[in-house]
Amino acid sequence: MTYSKLIVSLTSVTALFVAACGSAALPVDKLTDAKSTVRAAQEAGAQGTPQAALHLKMANDELASAQKAIDDNDGDRARLLLNQAQADADLSLTLARGSADKEAAQVAQAKIVELSKQAH
- The pLDDT, as a whole number, for residue 19 is 45
pTM: 0.67
In the predicted model, residues of the chain with pLDDT beneath 70 are 1-24, 99-102, 104
Q: What is the number of alpha carbons within 13 Å of residue 104 lying toward its C-beta?
A: 6
- The pLDDT, as a whole number, for residue 37 is 95
Nearest to 38 by CA among 17, 18, 53: 53
Domain residue limits, the chain: 26-119
